[in-house]
Structure 1
Amino acid sequence: MSVSEKDADISGRVTNKDGIPLQGVNVLIKGTMKGAVTDEDGKYSIEVTDNSILVFSSLGYSQKEIAVGIRKEINVILQEEIAELKEVTVNAGYYTVKEKERTGSIAKVSARDIGNQPVNNPLEALQGRVTGVEIVQNTGVPGGGFELKIRGRNSITSGNESLYIIDGVPYDIGTLGSRDVSGTILPGGNINPLNTLDPSSIESVEILKDADATAIYGSRGANGVVLITTKKGYAGKTSLNIEASGTAIAVTRLPELLNTEQYLQMRREAYSNDGYSQYPSSAYDVNGTWDQTRYTDWQEKLIGGTAYNNTVKASISGGNEQTRFNAGGSFLKETTVFPMDFNYRRTTVFSSFSHNSADNRFRMTFTANYGTDKNFIPGTDLTRVSRRLPPNAPKLYNDDGTLNWENSTWDNPMAVLESKYRNSTRNLIANTVLSYKILKGLEFMANLGYNRSDITETVANPYTQYNPAWGLTSESSHSIKNENKRDSWIMEPQLNAFYEIGEGKLNITLGSTFQEQNREQLSLLASGFTNDYFITTFSAASYQVVLNEDRTQYRYQAIYARVNYNLKEKYIFNLTGRRDGSSRFGPGRRFANFGAVGVAWLFYREKFFMNSSWLSFGKLRASLGTTGNDQIGDYQYLNTYTINTELNYNGYLGLTPSHLQNPLFAWEKNRKLEAALEAGLWRDRLNFEIAYYNNRTDNQLVGIPLPGTTGFSSISANLNAIVENSGWELSIRNLNIQKKDFQWNSSFNLTVPKNRLVDFPGLAGSTYASQYEIGYPLSIYKLYKLKGVNAETGVFEFEDFNGDGIIKSTDDRKFIADLTPRFYGNISNSLIYKNWNLDFLFQFVKKQGYNEYYYYTAAPGKMSNQPIGVLNHWQEQGDQAEIQVYTTGRNSNANTAYSRFTTSDGIITDASFIRLKSLSLSYRLSLSNTGPGYLQLYLQGQNLLTLTKFRNGDPEQLTAFLPPVRRISFGMRIVL
């Protein structure tokens, strides 16, 4: 090698014409496969020879070639190509499509948006960011669940879950937890399997919403599809990424309750109203047994603590144009806001390896994600009891540190913490994608995936959680264990063909799916331990009973096809068809056909817009199609039996019929329609998309009521009921300012959904009559109509709808409360000034919810604390008050009225809110003048500020469980 040809490192920076760094620019040595990719600062470094020519290329920018010569640094300015500004691609599952050419509704959330939030679960990072997607967090306890709905609720009973695909592998989002074990700490025993997936390992999340986008998934895509793609390796210099962060966590909002003076005044007035001349011996709070001046803020004491999260992450990636890799892992530990040392731990590891042959005919990608978490938390959530305890209740501990039972006058809430819940969850997702170009324009591809998830959870209830005066021993202790595991595999061979026909391009996809899922569950109860040391050792128990033992197998197969024709890059036609087969239906009903058609017109490319100074992009698109739903559970078409341990004949256990067969019931069908306009103005500085959708689901799978003489309450069958979801979605993105050192982007999205039951044959005479109403949403509640407080009697009054003079549930619960959001959306901003980045997002929701009285089943005046609003109460004739007369329970009319009040519109209120959902401020410091290394410091927050009229704590989560929490995080990231 001559001196002039020796290897040397060259580096530089790539920016646009305004000096903004460009990330992801490919820097390739011309004529070779050797190259690099620019980092977030636009920097690159590559080894070259003097006679090398560097080729700089990036989607949306003109390619540039520069000879190296003897230079050591080359800084490049790339010019935008207006015609190619929309070359970003999105993942549609079985294929990728250019953003500008998609005919379906696909929304994308990037790794940057996800990474700017200090969250444990990916779904929390998506909240408020996507039109048509409603996400609610069930609890603020770590390891809990989420509810996600894409464009509303389609099914009357069950089967409203979306399909999740992680790196090509279907992922069952159904909880592995058991309500018997975790239902008192995690609502419904809901443990979201995505808890074991580190959000920072995600490259992007695409959400498929309409028929055109989801039809290729057939029945599995009836409720939308969530595609999660994890990070892969990129060609270039090996990069090491290390990150550490610490987070402080606290409850967002708590309702205002009575203090001791207000509470005792309420109690004394109640006894006076009820005609007591002296306080009963059991009225410890008011008769002098308890300290009349003591005040404890029980919400602050029991759920008002500060929790901490410590997280460390590391990854390494790199490779060349043929072989690329990415591997890493993370660990976090998070405590709880409850007293005592409870914690949640998660460990994840991930890897990705991809390779393509020198001629690019063969490609292979392997990804694997393994996560495990361990949760050690109280067996019962303390939120409800913290709101109900009298403010002058005794202290928690005696002077010697033992629990204070105050001479058996109260149930010490700390005793509940003797009951402890533990779980251990493991989750593996592995996927291999192989492809080979058989001929020019013809490619074979195979997707092979495997997923295994399992959980072991135990709740231990020792006798020490009860008052020692009861004289209990470990014989009274009991534990419940649940073991649940499921594994599934999928194999999808696929052919892709690409042809140019005349002035158009034809893409054809033909493939098939073979999937199997097996599940095993065993739940046990054990009691009668000789010592509580063995309370989780079930073999040490004198009594054991099987609560549930279940084994199921689900098989699914399909063939699918897609034909896409792009004429003159202006007129796009997309036709999708799929034939599905599911083992959940009986013979002759297992297969069904689904399909969709999507069209798009890129009108900005018409001659009359070609020279437009203001329109840089414009598209009209529409879709129409049908999907199905088989989310009904396994073996529902068969006669099934349950082992009954109470039926024993000569040592043989008996069987009890549990489900009546119906081999005729079949698929639900969902017909989807959408039309949308997309446009980009003034060189795409302003972009917007507005869409209207209308989805109708019929052939509903419900339980049809049966006469009692059959021995069954219902039978699973199809009913020609129709549920409609319709609505408008609007997204706006604007580049407000773009200067050399400063850039400001804003976005806004809005969803206005409408859900209604269109038809339900025989509804009035069915058991569903008290639950649904034609023309109204599925999420309604039928309630009494509160007229107010009678000024003479001081008791709540209700509307007598049928005028018979009697208030009855069957006749007078006619008021319909709709808790479906009226609209929701967000406003977000991203500002970049030199090395500073500021991102924040405001989420807003317009809806109704339960007010502060919903959780207080005890009428005001009884031995239970109350919301501050009960002070506006009736005291004497003529009073106009919000709350009825106080009573200790002796006033039967007031008791009955308050019971009706808690099932009336009196508990419904405006639960709308505007929330500073996320905020991220970061500073980046380059570690080298030539290399891509940098140090980033960041401050992040979640649920920082909530503006609302809602008085019942947090407006997002409307249950008596711990509300979502506020997080403030400080972290450091080093990239080398």
Structure 2
Amino acid sequence: MRSKFKWTLALFMALIVQVSFAQEKTLSGVVTESGVPLPGATVIVKGTQHGTQTDLDGRYTLKVNPGDVLVFSFIGLTDLSYTVGVPNSYNASMSADEEMLDEVVVLAYGQVKNKNEVTGNVVTVKSDVIANTPLPTIDQALQGRVSGLQMSSSSGVPGAVQNIRIRGRNSLTATNEPLIVIDGIPVINSNFAGSTDESSLSALAALDSNDIESMTVLKDAGATAVYGARGTNGVILITTKKGKSGATKFELKTTLGFQNYAVKGPRMLTGAQKKELYLEGVYNTFGVANGFGRDEAYAFTEANASGLAGGTSLVNWVKGGEVETNWGDLVKKKDAPVSTVSFSASGGDESSSFYASLGHNKTEGTVIGSDFRRISGVFSFNKKLSDKFDFNTNINVSNVKQNGLLEGAAYFSNPNLTKLFMSPWIPAYNADGTYNLPRSGLHNILYTTENNITTNDLTRVLNSNVVSYKITDNLKFTSSIALDYALAAYKSYKNPVHGDGDGIGGYVVNSINRNFNYVAQNSLDYRFYVGEGHRFDVKLVYEFQKNKSHLLEGEGQAVASGFTSLGTTADNHFASANFTDWMQQGYVGLLSYNYQNRYLIDLTGRREGSSRFSEGSQWGNFFSVGAAWNISEEEFLSNQETLSLLRLRGSYGTNGNSTISPNQYQQLLKFEIYDHEGGLVPSQLGGPLSWEKQKKMDVGLEFGFLDNRISGSFAYYKSMTDDLIYAKPLSYTSGYATQYVNLGALENSGFEVDLNFDIVRSKDFNLSLGGNIGTVKNKITEMPLGPDGKPLEVLGSYSANVEGKAIGEWYMPTYAGVDVQTGEALWFKKDGGTTNAYGQAEKRFQGASALPTYSGGVNLHVDYKGFFINSLVAFSGGNKVYEDWVAQTNGSGATTTATYNGVEKLMDRWQNPGDVTDVPKTVNRNTANSSQSTSPSTRFLYDGDYIRLRDVSFGYNFRGAILRTLSLDGLTLSVIGTNLLTKVKDDRLKYDPEIDPTGFTSLTAPPIKSVVFSLNIKF
């Protein structure tokens, strides 16, 4: 009996132990990557919805049963599984998943989210693409890769500013350029050249593309409202590379290549062609009245050379043997070399990591006198000081030296002008080999380029310092200060022998521009959960930004022989100094809600003040609401395999535009000198002024099929800007030309499509094809009222700003060709007839502006057993381009055929009654019709549509035994081509179609095409 009782008691105790063991246990632990805590990692019981996420210190606590399988996951890391056993704590160390890293998106103020957690419209371009774009400014890597982003170059001189428009033009007077943010620093992205008359210098030219981890373009209010009054034109976030824990890794990359013009440009007249046109003009002007025929035109010219425009020049050229000078070839540097080298190291341990690099870039311009050199150094360091404190610092120091050009306008020492304007009858050299130096007219650019100096020297320091403190498991405080210092030194020397310095003993201009920008930020991050699957993230930010700019400039004439410095000038000294500053202050709140990664809501609010605006108008409020539904995460789609991704997202919010010159609202006086006395005179009227206000709406659908072998997105957007900052014209009786006011409104709308097809996926062979296109429709919806109470119509010679039309829509007479009987130019009148009197022609809207209405790109990737090919074709169109300086190069009178030079198109001129052509007859004097034939009209207005082979690369990634033999982690050889082919829709357009936002061709260095060989070694 006692024995039976013992066995019963033993069985009962075993059951108690079994039941107790089967009950839920509390499991806690820390999730890390290489010893660094991972906040936001997901810990879930496999096969259930039961789970949690780690706090700001990587810790988690979860109720589990023995035998449960826990799955640890984090964006960019491989999943880790663990079967629950007896221990009541478990620490998980996770490792990087290279494929998943592509899904991480960097957002404003340090937010890092999985692509499927983002409610805004953002596009990220990764480091491999940026590093393989062999151009001096990193923003050029975005062209053709981001739907809705349009880019054009202000000049082909290395380091020149790029013009970027995201979803169109949002302002009439304020900037239309996006905000640039580097590692959280809203930086100054100005032109740092010392003179607006010469080649521009982009602030981004100070960055080495090999140091960039990613560039993220924020387009809608859901992504940009957090930047308030600076986010109207979109935001480009640039993230630099950081170190990773582990053994130190080294990378060496070097390139060598050559550059040429991307487009040859218009073909100019040869000496013989110009002679033919000139003599025909002499016959057309004087032949009948003086009784000579075409064949006798030269004899008449020789006899009357001094009385005819260009007569002496032609006679001297003929007597000299008719030796032609091809000035276009003389100003061009064929196969201009480019070389770069970059060396970096990164590594760390469990508590710290670092990244360091050195870089050098030497790029020769394709136009004589232009080149670019950059030296850069980067150091980034992360340190976990304790369980609660973390510290990070980044510093980027670079020096850029750019030899630029007088370009853009009709400067006689502009080599881009010389190739178009300079007569082939004028020799570059004398018979003894010395330079021919004309005493009047255009300069011999070969001499002035060799003996003049135009230098921009920019030193830039970017530094950010961040310290964070964990207050509780879910609450963290972060404080940062970021510094952006730029010192731009400029020197211009014009020699006293020939050119601009002739007659004044030469002259020198020196300037120093110091710009200091700093941004201080303090933030609180808090994460909490409500129930199961309801995650909330709260971020509060205080931000203060101040910018100070000092300019000191001096100039003098009569330079001492053999010297080029300002201190050696003896006459007409002039000095000036300028100081400006401005401040921005903002309070930001962000709230994100995530329910099981299915339903997402983002709320953003910002209150901001700016010193750029008048008292009472300095503060504004901005907000956005963004939401997304990850439909593919729903249970009703869990059992199918075709649909990989389906998500619907949208946002609505407000932005502003405060990027104008300081003090526009103030009534200003300026200092003037008269008769050696100084005094103050009124210079600006001033008045109440505030920022432009914009409302943005964006909706989109993202999808993926067959494990995302087919993926893409569609989006529609609309933005409405009111209270435009507008330079309102004033009556001259007021003493002022304009006054800045908040008047008028405009809107942009359009569609964006991104598609990608992974046609083949395998271990040894992959083939993918993708593309994007974005459209924009721009319209002025409200113009200020004029004196008559009606909307103001600003009608210019070429374009107009009128309510209901696009900004700057082309507005000019329509060209009707040439009168077949007289050879004179004709234009259409209002009644539909034609006239040879330009003043009687009707000005008409031409249905397009300078802004493209669509742009995009198509990309191809192929790799096979280490070999790879990547290509990108970019396209743009829907706009019109106007050929400028046509009075000099396309005239039918003496200005072109006698004084300067003309385009080859002039050979198609009218010669005899009955000839059908659009080129008027040539004459030797500037008659009314010949002068008016180059007046603004559609004769020189072209379709701007083009397609360009933007990038193509071919190379080989060495693998396996070769790397082991060489003790290398990676070795890549490649050749990269940029802008190799360009096709324009309108064959009349001979200039490069990538025109700046004004829509006019200009006398600047054309964009380049290049072929670059690259070697990349990792060890």
TM-score (norm 2): 0.83
Closer/same/farther in 2, CA of residues 234 and 374 from structure 1, 3 Å limit: same
Residues 867-946 of structure 1 mapped to structure 2, 5 A cutoff: 867-890=903-926, 892-900=927-935, 903-926=936-959, 928-929=963-964, 933-946=969-982
Tell me the CA shift for residue 667 of structure 1. 1.9
Q: Deviations over 1:62-95 (max 9, x none)?
A: 43799xxxxxxxxxxx99999x899533333342
Residues 618-629 of structure 1 mapped to structure 2, 5 A cutoff: 618-629=646-657
Tell me the CA shift for residue 240 of structure 1. 1.4
SS at match of 2:497: helix
- Given candidates 459, 465, 485, the residue that maps to 2:514 is 485
Residues 179-218 of structure 1 mapped to structure 2, 5 A cutoff: 181=195, 183=197, 185-186=198-199, 190-218=200-228
Report the AA paired with residue 403 of structure 1: Y
Q: Which moved more, 1:84-93 or 1:111-120?
A: 84-93
Does 1:954 pair with 2:992?
Answer: yes
Equivalent residue number for residue 549 of structure 1: 577
Q: Deviations over 1:843-886 (max 9, x none)?
A: 11124444667545351352233222222221122222110111
- Give every structure 1 segment of 4 or more consecutive aligned residues whose post-TM-superposition deviation is greater than 6 Å: 29-32, 55-58, 78-82, 406-410, 802-806, 808-811
Report the AA paired with residue 681 of structure 2: T
Does 1:504 pair with 2:498?
Answer: no
- Kept in 2: contact 1:285–1:292 (CA 8 A): no
Distance 1:31 1:453 in 2: 39
Q: Deviations over 1:289-320 (max 9, x none)?
A: 34464334322221252211121211111112
Q: Deviations over 1:98-129 (max 9, x none)?
A: 20011101110000111122111101121111
Does 1:756 pair with 2:779?
Answer: yes
- Kept in 1: contact 2:978–2:1011 (CA 8 A): yes
User: CA RMSD of the aligned region, Å?
Assistant: 3.0
Report the AA paired with residue 387 of structure 1: L
Does 1:668 pair with 2:685?
Answer: no
Does 1:314 pair with 2:331?
Answer: no
Closer/same/farther in 2, CA of residues 150 and 670 from structure 1, 3 Å limit: same
Residues 491-890 of structure 1 mapped to structure 2, 5 A cutoff: 491-502=520-531, 503-531=533-561, 533-538=562-567, 540-546=569-575, 548-646=576-674, 648-649=676-677, 653-662=678-687, 664-719=688-743, 721-762=744-785, 766=792, 768-770=794-796, 771-801=800-830, 812-816=842-846, 817-850=848-881, 855-858=886-889, 859-861=891-893, 862-863=897-898, 864-890=900-926
Does 1:449 pair with 2:479?
Answer: no
Equivalent residue number for residue 445 of structure 2: 413
Tell me the CA shift for residue 800 of structure 1. 2.7
Tell me the CA shift for residue 911 of structure 1. 2.8
Tell me the CA shift for residue 761 of structure 1. 3.1
Closer/same/farther in 2, CA of residues 323 and 411 from structure 1, 3 Å limit: closer
Tell me the CA shift for residue 752 of structure 1. 1.2
Closer/same/farther in 2, CA of residues 654 and 837 from structure 1, 3 Å limit: same
Closer/same/farther in 2, CA of residues 809 and 604 from structure 1, 3 Å limit: farther
Distance 2:757 2:468 in 1: 39
Q: Deviations over 1:554-586 (max 9, x none)?
A: 111110101111123211111110000001112
Closer/same/farther in 2, CA of residues 621 and 655 from structure 1, 3 Å limit: same
Report the AA paired with residue 585 of structure 1: F
SS at match of 1:305: coil
Equivalent residue number for residue 166 of structure 1: 182
Equivalent residue number for residue 115 of structure 1: 131
Q: Deviations over 1:900-929 (max 9, x none)?
A: 2xx111111123222111112222335643
- Kept in 1: contact 2:258–2:337 (CA 8 A): yes
- Kept in 2: contact 1:826–1:844 (CA 8 A): yes
Equivalent residue number for residue 284 of structure 2: 273
Report the AA paired with residue 367 of structure 1: N
Does 1:366 pair with 2:366?
Answer: no
Tell me the CA shift for residue 443 of structure 1. 1.2
Structure 1 spans left out of the alignment, 5+ residues: 1-28, 36-54, 67-77
SS at match of 1:587: coil
Report the AA paired with residue 455 of structure 1: A
Q: Which moved more, 1:944-953 or 1:960-969?
A: 944-953
Report the AA paired with residue 738 of structure 2: S
- Aligned-pair identity in percent equals 27
- Kept in 2: contact 1:220–1:628 (CA 8 A): yes
Closer/same/farther in 2, CA of residues 252 and 574 from structure 1, 3 Å limit: same
Equivalent residue number for residue 48 of structure 1: none
Distance 1:311 1:122 in 2: 14
TM-score (norm 1): 0.87
SS at match of 2:205: helix
Equivalent residue number for residue 50 of structure 1: none
Q: Which moved more, 1:521-530 or 1:620-629?
A: 521-530
SS at match of 1:465: coil
- Kept in 1: contact 2:324–2:424 (CA 8 A): yes
Closer/same/farther in 2, CA of residues 813 and 409 from structure 1, 3 Å limit: closer
Q: Deviations over 1:687-744 (max 9, x none)?
A: 101101100100011122222222111222111x111111111111221111121112
Distance 2:252 2:633 in 1: 46
Distance 2:791 2:633 in 1: 58
Report the AA paired with residue 620 of structure 2: A
Report the AA paired with residue 639 of structure 1: Q
Q: Deviations over 1:324-357 (max 9, x none)?
A: 00001111222233346x5321111111001225
Closer/same/farther in 2, CA of residues 182 and 409 from structure 1, 3 Å limit: closer
Distance 1:923 1:80 in 2: 23
- Kept in 2: contact 1:584–1:636 (CA 8 A): yes
Equivalent residue number for residue 324 of structure 2: 295
Aligned residues: 895
Tell me the CA shift for residue 260 of structure 1. 3.2
Closer/same/farther in 2, CA of residues 853 and 553 from structure 1, 3 Å limit: closer
Report the AA paired with residue 400 of structure 2: D
- Kept in 1: contact 2:716–2:751 (CA 8 A): yes
Distance 1:712 1:570 in 2: 59
Does 1:248 pair with 2:258?
Answer: yes
Q: Which of the pair has more CA radius of gyration?
A: 2
- Kept in 2: contact 1:795–1:893 (CA 8 A): no
Distance 1:487 1:392 in 2: 51
Distance 1:496 1:65 in 2: 30
Tell me the CA shift for residue 269 of structure 1. 0.7
SS at match of 2:910: coil
Report the AA paired with residue 63 of structure 1: L
SS at match of 2:464: strand
Q: Which moved more, 1:580-589 or 1:87-96?
A: 87-96
- Kept in 1: contact 2:284–2:923 (CA 8 A): yes
- Kept in 2: contact 1:248–1:968 (CA 8 A): yes
Equivalent residue number for residue 222 of structure 1: 232
- Kept in 2: contact 1:794–1:884 (CA 8 A): yes
